[in-house]
Amino acid sequence: MGLRIYNTLTGKKEDFTPIVPGRVNIYVCGVTVYDYCHMGHARSMIVFDVIVKYLRYLGYKVTYVRNFTDIDDKIIKRAKERGKDPKEIAQYFTKAFYEDMDSLGIERADIEPRATEHIPEMVSLIERIINKGYAYVVDGNVYFSVRRFKGYGGLSKRSLEEMMAGARVEVDPRKEHPLDFALWKKAKPGEPFWESPWGKGRPGWHIECSAMSMKYLGETFDIHGGGQDLIFPHHENEKAQSEAATDKPFVNYWIHHGFLTINQEKMSKSLKNFFTIREILSKFHPEAIRLFFLNHHYRSPVDFSDEKIKEATKALEKLYITLDRAKQILGEFRQERTDEAIRSKPLYKRLVELEGSFKSAMDDDFNTAKAIGCLFDAIKEINLYLDKDEKEKGLIFEAVNKVKTLGNILGILRLEPRAFLTQGIDISVEEIEKLIAERAIARKRRDFKKADSIRERLAQSGIILEDTPHGTTWRVDYKRNL
């Protein structure tokens, strides 16, 4: 059984077959750079980061394109508010976007096109649409005619009649149909503009994604992704205009993820119930945030709270503690090849089995929650082995590698376990080690009162001591810090 993906277009899980065997072309709607990114954006970026990582793990050569909308009404508005040039606003928040994504460990897309750098492509695409008779020009504006395009509403599963029934749109009287949308907007005085056959203006929102995705990925490509709120109108419109221009299917698989809610309500700017990524990163570990999101299926709504990220942090700690145990035993031990003797060990076989389960889970429409379950099963097996008296370094090394490989697909377990377990302390390592040494002497003399007072002293600083056969180790008490 290979990869299956839930396709918004058909409403079903389908076997994934790329257009060119072994290659996947994927386009994801990025952000409009007019403000800091919030946690909803984080979820989106994490979901597609993992999808791309998994496709690569499967061996596909992936071309991942994610755009920046760097010219639109919101940017112009923000620029006016701040007395800045729209360009400056876009540049500033593009930089902020990269900072946030880097912190979350989200890889760069292969191509990250900006709308303002693709105006000529958009203009020629609009011309193509006009020539095909699917768009009309009114006073410097170009509108796409939804009525002329058969199949409008196919992605969002709505007919024009249904949409009209609930429409609350103020209708521009120059439009032939209320749902016709702008491909090109005439510039108002003082707004940024580009020259075009229809006069000075700027592109509509939807056309940029059509122009840029087709430029880099071809007129039909494999996967197009985004949030569920983009299904209508954005992706519906993208699909309509693209297919109107090319007479070819635009996209084979549409992937849409669910929303992030706060107290069960959608996180959004208008409700003012959003948290920015940087706010949350100041309190929690990026990998904990990833684990929190990935513990839910990407299409389900996720309710956000500090409490839940704390739980994810504890879960992540559990994984790192085991990796740390292994590392203590391994020291600098490394090995290049896995020999037959190791392959035949029960632990190794079990881990291969779990890797298979992990893969089946991910193959089933990227079921990361189930895959995480496999990761914890693997951790339990390793702990069981680590509890034994007789241990083989070669086997432990391989076991750790397996777990890390799987974790890395989800973008977690990328740190040295010691680094994770000793983060955020307000006492120096020298001080800690000095106290541990003192305590060791006290314990040898069976002066447990003193030993315990040292443990207590370190606990005050959020340090947990663990006495093992190999000596005493320490780590940060996440439970206390959270």
Using CB under 7 A as the binding rule, the residues of this chain from 275 to 334 that contact RNA are 295-297, 300-303, 307-308, 310-312, 314-315, 318, 321-322, 325
Closer to RNA by Cβ: residue 115 or 245? 115
Give me the amino acid identity at 39: M
Instruction: Check residue 393 for interaction with RNA (CB under 7 A).
Output: no
Across-strand partners of 4? 15, 364
C-alpha span between 340 and 154 (Å, rounded) = 54
Give me the least distance between CB of 208 and RNA, in Å please.
10
Contacting RNA within 195-234 (CB under 7 A): 205, 226-234
Backbone angles phi and psi of 12, in degrees to 5? -135, 160
Altogether, the residues listed in the chain come to a count of: 482
Between 338 and 360, whose beta carbon lies closer to RNA? 360
What's the Cα-to-Cα distance from 126 to each of 191, 196, 216, 245, 294, rounded to whole Å?
Answer: 21, 10, 17, 8, 39
8 A C-beta contact, residue 266 and residue 43? no
How far, in Å, CA of 402 to CA of 286, rounded? 22
CB of 21 to RNA, least distance (A): 27
Residue closer to RNA, measured from CB, 261 or 276: 261
- Of residues 92 and 338, the one with the C-beta less far from RNA: 92
For residue 48, give both structure tokens: 């597609």
The CA distance from 439 to 417, in Å, is 24
CA dist 178 and 167 (Å) reads: 9
In the shown chain, the binding pattern of residues 353 to 392 toward RNA, with x for contact by CB under 7 A and - for none, equals --------x--x--x-xx-xx--xx-xx--xx-xx-----
Decide: is 111 part of the binding site for RNA (CB under 7 A).
Answer: no
Identity of the residue, 335 or 448, whose beta carbon is nearer to RNA in the bound complex: 448
Q: Are 174 and 202 in contact (CB under 8 A)?
A: no
When computed from its CA atoms, the radius of gyration of the chain, rounded to whole angstroms, is 27
Residue number, 132 or 283, with CB nearest to RNA: 283
Mark the segment that binds RNA (CB under 7 A) among 58-66, 111-119, 161-169, 408-416.
161-169
Residue ranges in 232-251 that form contacts with RNA under rule CB under 7 A: 232-234
DSSP H helices in 344-392? 346-363, 368-386
- Name the DSSP letter for residue 235: I
| From 443, 457, 461, 462, residue interacting with RNA (rule: CB under 7 A) | 443
Query: Using the rule CB under 7 A, which residue among 56, 74, 177, 345 binds RNA?
Result: 74
**Residue number with CB closer to RNA (23 or 434):** 434
Counting beta carbons within 10 angstroms of the beta carbon of residue 22, is it exposed (0 to 12), middle (13 to 18) or buried (19 or more)? exposed
Instruction: Report CA-CA distances (Å) from 458 to 428, 436, 481.
Output: 11, 9, 13
H or E element: which one contains 257?
strand 251-257
**Is the CB of 55 or the CB of 362 nearer to RNA?**
362
CB of 131 to RNA, least distance (A): 25
Residue 437 interacts with RNA (CB under 7 A): yes or no: no
Closest CA to 32 of 205, 165, 166: 205
Between residues 130 and 277, which has the closer beta carbon with respect to RNA? 277
Shortest distance (Å) from residue 279 CB to RNA: 15
Tell me if 229 sits within 8 A of 204, measured CB to CB.
Answer: no
Site for RNA in 34-63 (CB under 7 A): 38, 40-41, 43-44
- For the CB of residue 57, give the shortest distance to RNA in the complex, in Å: 19
Q: Is 160 in the site for RNA (CB under 7 A)?
A: no
Q: Does 406 bind RNA (CB under 7 A)?
A: no
Q: How far apart are CA 193 and CA 254, in angstroms?
A: 32
Interacting residue with RNA among 118, 224, 239, 257 (CB under 7 A): 257
Q: Interface with RNA includes 20 (CB under 7 A)?
A: no
Quote the least distance from Cβ 228 to RNA, whole Å: 6
CB of 441 to RNA, least distance (A): 12
Q: Of the two residues 150 and 272, which places its CB atom closer to RNA in the complex? A: 272
**Which residues contact residue 356 at a Cβ distance below 8 angstroms, ignoring those fewer than 6 apart?**
none
- Alpha carbon dihedral 411, 417, 421, 423, in 10-degree steps, equals -70
Minimum distance of RNA from residue 230's CB (angstroms) = 4
Q: Which of 80, 335, 448, 481 binds RNA (CB under 7 A)?
A: 448
80 binds RNA (CB under 7 A): no
Binding footprint of RNA, residue count (CB under 7 A):
88
